[in-house]
A = this chain, B = another copy of it.
Amino acid sequence: MNQLTGACIIGQSGGPTAVINASAQGVIQTALKAECITRVLGAAHGIKGVLDDKLYDMAQEDAAELDLLQYTPSSALGSCRYKLADPDVDDTDYKRILEIFKKYDVRYFFYNGGNDSMDTCNKISKYMQKVGYECRIMGVPKTIDNDLNGTDHCPGFASAAKYIATSCAEVWQDAHVYDTGMITVIEIMGRHAGWLAGSAGLAALTGCGPDLVYLPEVDFNMEQFLADVKAIYEKKGKCMVAVSEGIHYADGTFVSEAKTSATDGFGHAQLGGLAAMLAEIVKKETGAKVRGIELSLLQRCGSHLASRTDVTEAWKAGAAAVEAAVAGNTDKMVAFQCTRDENGYKCETVLQPLDIVANFEKKVPREWINEAGNSIEQPFIDYVLPLIQGEANCPTENSLPRFARLKKVLTTSM
């Protein structure tokens, strides 16, 4: 084993999830135990914390508070959406990162995020290789969007999926309470991939699922959509629709942004989001009572409804990143390799080159969506269902969430 001794930095980046802190916990707790890791530093707001020399000394935190990270939504160290330049064009940031790495003798760098964050991680990795600074760099996956390449699924996705399916089932009950007509449009996150919107379809397992589900993998057609809704509404007197925020027309225009559409009269100046807009259009077309519901931030921070499977896997992804780096690996992202068969569901961590992960969006296979493009097929359910199993059982105080309270003690150079 190639022993490398030095400090480590853990950074969180991109949109938060219900379990990204479980991954941070996995990294921090494993790193604190690793003999070759001399200090565990948490970057304030991801790579910005490195650039700004704003690093927290994680050894100062109470162990009990670190344990609570797995139940705490959002990014406890702070996040950022900072894009590093192409180092061939402008290497200012890279020089600064190297300076900070040298200042604290950083030999391990763990970056927890989605597509853009893996791109950041990849660029830093390649730069450090180029300048010959020995540092083991590992990506830890995270994204509710579930669109990272090279991994069966991403930590964070399952908890959001569970929140969405449960909420859809509950709203279904509410939306079916009167004997008068009612159409409900639920807007779900996922700009380019329909993993989350499709997960609304899991609610069908409770007997209370949406009638129609629209994913961005299929071009949206407003006339067909209205025909779909009307057909169900006329038959049942109710209709519940789940739509991805990322549905778009064939020309690529997002439905949410289209001021005028192919079909006249659908254009709207709007304050609300897609759900409100579609609700208004459906109302005009059908005359029915319509309600638009946007799950908004709730779906990505609902840790009280997190999947235990997701929490556990997120922690393992963090721990595996440290173990792999200590064992000599670098320039990789931890990924999941899973089997779903008669023996149940199994998930192992593997390593993928950062190159193949960065800047690629994994979409829902077309054959997992029905031909009409308004519902999901069984393989989608078989894929997602194992991931949402188990309850997180978040600790409470006064029957309200007890989140981790970190001291965030800024570190000094020695």
Task: Name the contact of A162 in the complex, choosing from B174, B273, B305, B399 (C-beta under 8 A).
Answer: B399
Q: How many residues of A contact B (CB 8 A)?
A: 72
Interface hits, A133-189 → B, CB 8 Å: 162, 165-167, 169-171, 173-179, 184
Closest to A303 in B: B170
- Since A166-B401, A276-B276 are in contact, a sample of 7 more A-B pairs with Cβ atoms closer than 8 Å, ordered by chain A residue number, is A80-B179, A81-B178, A174-B297, A206-B401, A208-B403, A268-B271, A298-B298
Separation of A333 and B170 alpha carbons in the complex (Å): 28
The answer to whether A255 has its CB under 8 Å from any CB of chain B is no
Residues on B with C-beta less than 8 A from A302 are 167, 170
Q: Which residues of B contact A273 (CB under 8 A)?
A: 272, 276
Taking a contact as CB atoms under 8 Å apart, the answer to whether A301 and B173 are in contact is: yes
Which one of B48, B174, B269 contacts A301 once the chains associate, using CB atoms below 8 Å? B174
> In the complex, what distance in Å separates the CA atom of A80 from the CA atom of B182?
13
When the two chains form their complex, are residues B399 and A206 in contact, meaning their CB atoms are under 8 A apart?
A: no
Assess whether B74 is in contact with A173, with CB atoms less than 8 Å apart. yes
- Inter-chain CA distance A75–B73, complex, in Å, is 32
Copies of this chain: 2
Q: Which of A291-310 contact B (CB under 8 A)?
A: 291-298, 300-305, 307
Q: Mark A375-408, 1 if CB is under 8 A from B, else 0.
A: 0000000000100111100001111111101000
Q: Which residue of B lies closest to A52 (CB)?
A: B179
Point out the residues of chain B lying under 8 angstroms from A165, CB to CB: 400
Residue positions of A touching B, CB distance < 8 A: 16, 44-45, 48, 72-75, 78-81, 162, 165-167, 169-171, 173-179, 184, 202-203, 205-208, 268-273, 276-277, 279-280, 291-298, 300-305, 307, 385, 388-391, 396-403, 405
**A79: contacting residue among B44, B178, B184, B276, CB under 8 A:** B178
Which residue of B16, B80, B179, B400 contacts A206 across the interface (Cβ within 8 Å)?
Answer: B400
B403 touches A399 (CB 8 A): no
Q: Bound complex: CA of A295 vs CA of B184, how far in Å?
A: 14
B304 touches A170 (CB 8 A): yes
CA distance in complex: A177, B397 (Å): 23
Of the listed residues A45, A170, A391, A397, the one surrounded by the most CB atoms of chain B closer than 10 A to its CB is: A170
